[in-house]
Structure 1
């Protein structure tokens, strides 16, 4: 595909195994900037981030918050996405903007030659995640963590044919 954005959308894969290469500050900043530019209702930008590196002692606590602890334990970097409850405009729209933010971060990781996976299952233990990070549930809603690193595996995926997901033909 000749368009780099459209190609990235189709080529990005969830990666669950990483090498031990450290992710640079510039790479982290690029991914956070991509997330920051996600659309949001009334441009309220309700998303907030936390960066956890492999040597952070909280990494072990986060691994305990998911059945996918092996992914957390293998990830050189985790980016947490939260909503600032004091900045919310519209609950559904703000959650949609968090999803766009996550997608932007993962596409930026892909553009940098990194792999990532959205650890949505951690939402089942949102209270525990907030506790590990010493964040106040009155102020922050946990959305997800994204595990990021240099891929140590090939990603694969398939999609249903477009006709199968259309409500009506166009």
Structure 2
């Protein structure tokens, strides 16, 4: 595809990055990424997502790494964004999860546009209770959606996709 549309190009070029350099992620870049997440669509515009940012020197990083089989990525990341749904702001489980997915995608595209690498660590939700305890976040109020690991890429990611026709229920 030609370089004519920055949004489409970002979608097609973004890859999951699991290795990062030692260079820190700036607070300004994190603010831009969080703003991109904040502007994701949500059902009834309820905006039920909440964020917790950890830098690599936060004492909670090592215990958080113990909550996932991808702990090595958690430890190597220069910043982590933990995304939750606020049960007090939700109204429809499916729509709120869809909104969280849009929020996550916005953040990862924003990170890519800033030259940062990111990866969606979803397996960690299998240990939600342990994660919430490590982060000292209320399990009554918040539901963990994902942890995004961020940093300056140390290498390129790769991916492939099936042909579009394999996804289509009918020709268009």
**Rounded Cα–Cα distance in structure 2 between residues aligned with 1:153 and 1:129:** 29
Task: Give the CA deviation at 1:3.
Answer: 0.3
- Other-structure match for 1:48: 50
Equivalences for 1:106-121 in 2 at 5 Å?
A: 106-121=108-123
Q: Deviations over 1:63-86 (max 9, x none)?
A: 001001110110000000000000
**Rounded Cα–Cα distance in structure 2 between residues aligned with 1:104 and 1:85:** 21
- Other-structure match for 1:122: 124
| Correspondence 1:153 to 2:155 | yes
- Other-structure match for 2:28: 26
Q: Deviations over 1:58-110 (max 9, x none)?
A: 00011001001110110000000000000001110000000000000000000
- Other-structure match for 2:103: 101
**Rounded Cα–Cα distance in structure 2 between residues aligned with 1:168 and 1:64:** 45
**Rounded Cα–Cα distance in structure 1 between residues aligned with 2:38 and 2:138:** 22
- Other-structure match for 1:77: 79
**Rounded Cα–Cα distance in structure 2 between residues aligned with 1:110 and 1:120:** 19
Equivalences for 1:132-143 in 2 at 5 Å?
A: 132-143=134-145
Secondary structure class of the residue paired with 1:87:
coil
| Correspondence 1:36 to 2:47 | no
**Rounded Cα–Cα distance in structure 2 between residues aligned with 1:131 and 1:158:** 37
**Rounded Cα–Cα distance in structure 2 between residues aligned with 1:154 and 1:133:** 31
Residue correspondences, number: 170
- In structure 2, the gaps of 5 or more residues are none
Q: Deviations over 1:114-161 (max 9, x none)?
A: 000000000110111100011111100011100000000111110000
